[in-house]
Amino acid sequence: MEIPKTKDLLLFLVALIFSAALMFAFVELPALLDAVLQRKIGFPDFDQGAGEFAAFKTDIYLSALHLRWIGYGSLALVLLLTAIGFATKKSGLAWAGAFVLFLPVFGQFALSMFFLAGLGMLRIIWVPFSGFSLSVLQLGDVIYLPHKALLWFLGLFGWQAQQFLTFLYMGIGSLLFVWGVFIWFRARANQDRVATGWLYALSRHPQYLGWIIWSYGFMLFSAGINDMKKSWAIPSSLPWLLATMIIIGICMMEEVKMKKDNGEAYEAYRQRTPFLFPLPSWLSRVIRFPIRLATGKNYPETLRQVIGVTAIYTVLLILPSLLWIKKAVPHVPQLTGTELVSVQHRIDSLLLEIQKPQHRRQLYPHIAALEDIGLQAAPVLIRLLKDDNPDVREFSAYALGHLKAEDAISPLGNLLRGPEGRPRRAAAEALGQIGSEQGVTLLMRTLKDNPDTGLRHSIYIALGNIGSAEAWDALVQGLNEEGWFVRRSALQALGKIDAPGSVPYLLQALEDEHPGVRREAVFIILKYKLPEAREGLKKALEDEDFETRFYARQALKILEDGV
């Protein structure tokens, strides 16, 4: 029966609304759940960014609130939910399990979308694995290979296409999902038992394929500049891989049911149509080989076989990631000959991209790629400190700090005296990361001449990282700064340079008007286990600020236990 064009249009609009509502729900429902966790149940609003202090705070936080055990329990419940979905052939339950496993991917996305920042709390199911020496959550890193291969290929033509590809994945995935839903609605309206037309002639599961491609781009869409609140730096590759494999398992489970309900008609359709997307016949045979080895057939035909095949493919994908992690190195070593020429070609290609007009979020991956090359790129990054674009100067300064490029000390000192706030702050923090006494002189000189509170904050952080006693008096003076975050950074630096010597100033800070300063004072006492501050901690138990009381309790407990 031919469906009228007006009805086709109506079905397409319904499919579009359904798809938009579903994707909106995947963003908003976790945000609402997080709001309930924080505002109704009382989970504290901790800020778990990057850095030594934040890592220690996270460890205290997880231990004191038993979040690792809660995480193990939550993960067990999610896996149980998924198992029940497969056991009862309820794909909705299995899909719900896949969604929860997918939550860390939202953490990656939230790096550049601050309205999603609270989703970090929902990553708790993966927190138990954060303390492993081998990053368990990177065992899905094999999923980056197709993306890296495309980046490499396009890079041969001088195109650094990271941003373009992430939007392309999300766009293609959304289109496939909406189109697949439309065709499925159309088949139901036509009372067809099996949808076989249009996209369904190229893929037996176009909606699931669209979701997988969309979520892949969603995962990769990250500025990579800041650490999301409460993200705990949890990687997304293994969660994404497991969620995707559950979805593929759901596809196979649905096919078992379709074959049972529709017999040879569905088998004929399955024989002529690819599972997810068209592949060369030889490659399709290679991919199906584990299925034939495990079941003796081209497709699993029972629930037990579906579960077994899904597990086999998951393990086969995880194993290469294990080898990858073991062999990973942070930077390219010193190169010679043709390898050096190749690196220089990559540097030149990146420079061309950096010079193009673009938003800072689009610019950052190119500077980060220069940093990944290692010290071979340091001279180029030093030259970029004089670029006309302040964003280029800022990101280049951060990269030089990460590389600890001592040749950059003097150029960073020049940038420190520049006109823009962000590049100056980046220069200060880079000098702190490099850790040279020469940097102390430059920082102290700037501290005397510049009233910018943001810059002074960064200088205090840098002085603390260098750990020079020469900065002590200046840091003590910093405790009288107007901005509370500046006082906090000066206090933190004093603790780093001489924790026992900072006790009088820590006790003084416990009376500060701003809870952020009081909180930091208690935390420093906790971190360095300073028994001289015990009486101050007891007073802090009555503080109006939750985190101040929380850290004070933990500090007193540690001091009493003699840990």
Tens digits of residue pLDDT in 385-426: 999 999 999 999 999 999 999 999 999 999 988 888 889 999
Tens digits of residue pLDDT in 258-305: 888 888 888 888 888 888 888 888 888 888 888 888 888 888 888 788
Highest-pLDDT range among 150-164, 292-306, 327-341: 292-306
Q: Is the pLDDT of residue 383 over 80?
A: yes
For residues 413 and 105, give the distance between their C-alpha atoms in angstroms, rounded to a whole number: 39
Q: Quick one: pLDDT band at residue 114, thresholds 50, 70, 90?
A: very low
Residue boundaries of the structural domains of the chain: 51-327, 340-434
Angle in degrees, 0-180, between the axes of helices 91-109 and 5-35, rounded to the nearest 10? 70
Contacts of 561 (CB under 8 A, 6+ apart): none
Q: Quick one: pLDDT band at residue 507, thresholds 50, 70, 90?
A: very high
Q: Give the pLDDT score at 352.
A: 83
DSSP code, position 36: I
- Token reading at 17: 């609304």
- Token reading at 538: 């007891």
Shortest CA distance to 488 belongs to which of 457, 464, 467? Answer: 457
Q: Give the pLDDT score at 489.
A: 92
Q: Give the pLDDT score at 42.
A: 47
Q: Quick one: pLDDT band at residue 231, thresholds 50, 70, 90?
A: very low
Q: Quick one: pLDDT band at residue 491, thresholds 50, 70, 90?
A: very high
340-434 CATH, one of 3.10.180.10, 1.20.1070.10, 3.40.190.10, 1.25.10.10: 1.25.10.10
For residues 313 and 320, give the distance between their C-alpha atoms in angstroms, rounded to a whole number: 12
What is the identity of the amino acid at 445? R
Q: Is the pLDDT of residue 493 over 80?
A: yes
Question: Which sign does the torsion angle of CA 527, 531, 532, 535 carry?
Answer: positive
Please state, in angstroms and as integers, the Cα–Cα distance from residue 226 to each residue in 208, 223, 398, following that order: 31, 8, 12
Tens digits of residue pLDDT in 306-331: 888 888 998 999 888 777 654 443 43
Tens digits of residue pLDDT in 6-35: 766 676 676 667 666 666 655 555 556 555
Name the residue with higher pLDDT: 456 or 48: 456
- Token reading at 505: 């100033």
Contacts of 93 (CB under 8 A, 6+ apart): 81, 82, 84, 85
Average pLDDT on 539-546 reads 88
Q: Give the pLDDT score at 8.
A: 61
Contacts of 178 (CB under 8 A, 6+ apart): 15, 16, 19, 210
SS3 235: coil
Q: Is the pLDDT of residue 530 over 70?
A: yes
Q: What angle do CA 26, 32, 36 make, to 5 degrees?
A: 145
Name the residue with higher pLDDT: 104 or 254: 254
Name the residue with higher pLDDT: 396 or 55: 396
For residues 213 and 173, give the distance between their C-alpha atoms in angstroms, rounded to a whole number: 5
Q: Give the pLDDT score at 94.
A: 65
Q: Give the pLDDT score at 260.
A: 84
Q: Is the pLDDT of residue 255 over 80?
A: yes
Q: Give the pLDDT score at 113.
A: 34
Q: Is the pLDDT of residue 122 over 80?
A: no
Q: What angle do CA 423, 428, 431 make, to 5 degrees?
A: 120
Q: Is the pLDDT of residue 123 over 70?
A: no
Average pLDDT value for the chain: 77
Highest-pLDDT range among 10-19, 60-69, 229-238, 500-509: 500-509
Query: In whole angstroms, how large is the CA radius of gyration of the chain?
Result: 28
Q: Give the pLDDT score at 51.
A: 56
Q: Quick one: pLDDT band at residue 510, thresholds 50, 70, 90?
A: very high
The owner of tokens 């109506």 is: 10
Please state, in angstroms and as integers, the Cα–Cα distance from residue 248 to each residue in 64, 76, 165, 185, following that order: 38, 21, 23, 21
Q: Is the pLDDT of residue 71 over 80?
A: no
Shortest CA distance to 520 belongs to which of 53, 121, 49, 59? Answer: 53
Q: Is the pLDDT of residue 135 over 60?
A: yes
Q: Is the pLDDT of residue 526 over 80?
A: yes
